[in-house]
């Protein structure tokens, strides 16, 4: 400005706008002495002045000073300042600090001054550190009530990021449902309905809001039950869980008195059922995930193996199978409250080793073996309201020893010694091929966890089991190998539950 041929070099008085006198004084002191005292009062304008004059050493010193001042009462303000001035490192540290101290941060004035998008950025995060989800709900409602007329229209959008299904049922009834704003917001009713259904049905009902935040000590894990390593090999008694986020495997209570094979496994609420098995077993066991123990419950009416189980609207259905002589059309329904199995309408076609899952309020039985030599391409759909079966669009390949899961009102099928993963839309009654796995396998495990589909183990064409874990993301249609199982296994059960981690996240 002064040493080159600029206009200012010819003027007696140069006016510099937008800088406080105090800031200019501190800045000049630094320029001439190389020293300046940075304080909470001057750091902001000293930073802005050093940025304007491109004195990077002083600018960085101010940013470092702000990092050291982070506190629940000021971190959001410093984060906004960092965002304005493109200080990526400071911004990241502020956000991490606010996520880890959210309970304290949400009590301060700065929290109530967040805009909607800034608030959503925090409450949608899996990394949010809280003791329980109730704290997120209360923080959101405090924010809304701060400027209720202005923020009332935003309530539904905000509550879609609060995990209402994970609130304690008593709290949900006594606090959430009676809130006047929520009662007068019809668009929130669907979120309330989802939470009520989850309180009744448990993990049968999955959505982004049913996934626990890791800081609460809970995580969504895949439990692998039993299986065997090879044809004619020993049946394994192991029950082990896999956490896809950490990649860790942990051992749970072993299957009791278990030398059977080709049994069926499913999750009921947050527990696990195992039924039947070779030869003609009627035994049914429940794994209590809270106590980590297995409990024997009412036996099946008809012994079977090579059958499948699925949960539909809070009840367990045992479907088809083999009794050593013929395939079974028999279907039994278990009510855990009465501890009773009752016969319901039989399958239209008796099959063993089909894929079975529930979706949009109905049960779907896909493929399977009607006899020793043939495979079925039929899709049989059960409606519990009418206690009747209908045939739907056939699967593109006739296979047995396949597995199915449902996610986002679609059904995904893998196995049957094919590489293909097929997807079925039960509303449109339409099948499509979505992806290939890396090798052919059958009798693999399949489970939905954290919004993705995992395919675990299975038997290859040579009869040997595999220990691979594949992850299919429906959002991108990409399949990747993510882990190895503790041992190769096939004919095993795979389910997803919420598990409490003894070593939960702590600051």
The residues pairing with 342 across neighbouring beta strands, listed in sequence order, are 333
CATH 1.25.40.420 in the chain: give the residue spans: 114-214
- Please state, in angstroms and rounded to a whole number, the distance separating the CA atoms of residues 340 and 349: 25
The answer, yes or no, to whether residue 375 has pLDDT greater than 50, is yes
What is the pLDDT averaged over residues 468-476? Answer: 96
CATH 2.120.10.80 in the chain: give the residue spans: 248-444
Beta carbons of 358 and 406 less than 8 angstroms apart: yes
- Please state, in angstroms and rounded to a whole number, the distance separating the CA atoms of residues 497 and 194: 18
Q: Which residues of 77-92 are buried (b: 16+ CB within 10 A; e: fewer)?
A: bbbbbbeebebeebbe
pLDDT bracket for residue 233 (50, 70, 90) = low
The answer, yes or no, to whether residue 40 has pLDDT greater than 80, is no
- Could you tell me the sign of the dihedral formed by the alpha carbons of 148, 152, 157, 163, in that order? positive
Question: What does the pLDDT look like over 209-222, one tens digit per residue?
Answer: 999 998 999 999 99
Mean pLDDT comparison of 20-24, 42-46, 190-194, highest-scoring range: 190-194
Question: What does the pLDDT look like over 405-427, one tens digit per residue?
Answer: 999 999 999 999 999 999 999 99
**What pLDDT, on a 0 to 100 scale, did the predictor assign at position 506?**
39
Beta carbons of 215 and 204 less than 8 angstroms apart: no
pLDDT bracket for residue 504 (50, 70, 90) = very low
- C-alpha distance from residue 485 to each of 72, 241, 243 (Å): 42, 10, 11
What is the pLDDT averaged over residues 455-482? Answer: 94
**What pLDDT, on a 0 to 100 scale, did the predictor assign at position 232?**
65
Question: What does the pLDDT look like over 296-326, one tens digit per residue?
Answer: 999 999 999 999 999 999 999 999 999 999 9
Question: What does the pLDDT look like over 86-141, one tens digit per residue?
Answer: 889 899 999 999 999 999 999 999 999 999 999 999 999 999 999 999 999 999 99
The lowest-confidence range among 26-35, 164-173, 440-449, 480-489 is 26-35
135 burial type by CB count under 10 A (0-12 exposed, 13-18 middle, 19+ buried) = middle
| DSSP class per residue in 320-352 | --B-SSSB---EEEEETTTTEEEEEPPPSS--B
**What pLDDT, on a 0 to 100 scale, did the predictor assign at position 502?**
62
Beta carbons of 287 and 252 less than 8 angstroms apart: yes
Q: What is the 3-state secondary structure (H, E, C) of 51-65?
A: HHCCCHHHHHHHHHH
Structure tokens at 168: 């304690």
The class of domain 248-444 in CATH terms is mainly beta
**What pLDDT, on a 0 to 100 scale, did the predictor assign at position 360?**
95
Cis before 279? omega within 30: yes
**What pLDDT, on a 0 to 100 scale, did the predictor assign at position 490?**
94
Q: What is the 3-state secondary structure (H, E, C) of 252-302?
A: ECCCCCCCCCCCEEEEEECEEEEECCCCCCCCEEEEECCCCEEEEECCCCC
- Please state, in angstroms and rounded to a whole number, the distance separating the CA atoms of residues 447 and 428: 23
**What pLDDT, on a 0 to 100 scale, did the predictor assign at position 507?**
36
In whole numbers, what is the pLDDT of the chain averaged over residues? Answer: 92
**What pLDDT, on a 0 to 100 scale, did the predictor assign at position 36?**
76
Q: Residues 6 or more apart from 383 whose CB is under 8 A from it?
A: 361, 362, 389, 390
The answer, yes or no, to whether residue 23 has pLDDT greater than 60, is yes
pLDDT bracket for residue 276 (50, 70, 90) = very high
First to last CA, the chain: 51
The CATH number of 114-214 is: 1.25.40.420
């Amino acid at each position: 400005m002064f040493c080159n041929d600029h206009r200012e070099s010819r003027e007696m008085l140069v006016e510099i706008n937008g800088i406080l006198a105090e800031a200019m004084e501190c800045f000049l002191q630094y320029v001439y002495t190389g020293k300046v005292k940075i304080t909470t009062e001057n750091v902001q304008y000293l930073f802005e002045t050093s940025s304007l004059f491109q004195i990077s050493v002083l600018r960085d010193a101010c940013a470092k000073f702000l990092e050291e001042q982070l506190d629940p009462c000021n971190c959001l303000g410093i984060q906004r300042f960092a965002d304005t001035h493109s200080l990526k490192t400071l911004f990241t540290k502020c956000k991490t600090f606010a996520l880890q101290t959210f309970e304290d941060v949400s009590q301060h004035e700065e929290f109530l001054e967040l805009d909607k998008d800034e608030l959503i950025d925090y409450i949608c995060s899996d990394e949010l550190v809280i003791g329980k989800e109730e704290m997120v709900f209360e923080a959101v409602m405090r924010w809304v009530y701060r400027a209720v007329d202005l923020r009332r229209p935003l309530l539904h959008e905000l509550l879609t990021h609060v995990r209402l299904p994970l609130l304690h049922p008593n709290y949900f009834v006594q606090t959430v449902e009676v809130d006047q704003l929520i009662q007068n917001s019809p668009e929130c009713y669907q979120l309330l309905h989802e939470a009520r259904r989850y309180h009744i049905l448990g993990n049968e009902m999955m959505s982004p809001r049913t996934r626990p935040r890791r800081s609460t000590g809970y995580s969504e894990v895949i439990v692998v039950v039993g299986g065997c390593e090879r044809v004619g090999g020993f049946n394994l008694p192991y029950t082990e869980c896999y956490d896809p986020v950490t990649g860790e495997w942990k051992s749970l209570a072993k299957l009791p008195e278990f030398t059977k094979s080709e049994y069926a496994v499913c999750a009921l609420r947050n527990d696990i059922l195992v039924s039947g098995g070779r030869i003609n077993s009627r035994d049914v066991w429940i794994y209590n995930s809270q106590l980590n123990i297995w409990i024997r419950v009412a036996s099946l009416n008809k012994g079977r193996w090579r059958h499948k189980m699925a949960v539909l609207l809070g009840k367990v259905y045992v479907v088809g199978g083999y009794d050593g002589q013929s395939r079974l059309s028999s279907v039994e329904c278990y009510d855990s409250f009465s501890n009773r199995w009752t016969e319901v309408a039989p399958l239209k076609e008796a099959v063993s080793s089909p894929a079975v899952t529930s979706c949009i309020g109905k049960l779907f039985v896909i493929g399977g073996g009607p006899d020793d030599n043939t495979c079925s391409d039929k899709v049989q759909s059960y409606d519990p309201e009418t206690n009747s079966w209908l045939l739907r669009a056939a699967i593109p390949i006739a296979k047995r020893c396949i597995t199915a899961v449902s996610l986002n009102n679609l059904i995904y099928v893998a196995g049957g010694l094919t590489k293909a993963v097929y997807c079925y839309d039960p509303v449109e009654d339409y099948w499509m091929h979505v992806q290939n796995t890396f090798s052919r396998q059958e009798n693999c495990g399949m489970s939905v966890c954290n919004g993705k589909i995992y395919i675990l183990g299975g038997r290859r064409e040579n009869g040997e089991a595999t220990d691979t874990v594949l992850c299919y993301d429906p959002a991108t249609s990409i399949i990747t190998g993510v882990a190895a199982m503790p041992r190769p296994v096939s004919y095993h059960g795979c389910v997803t539950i919420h598990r409490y981690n003894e070593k939960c996240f702590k600051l």
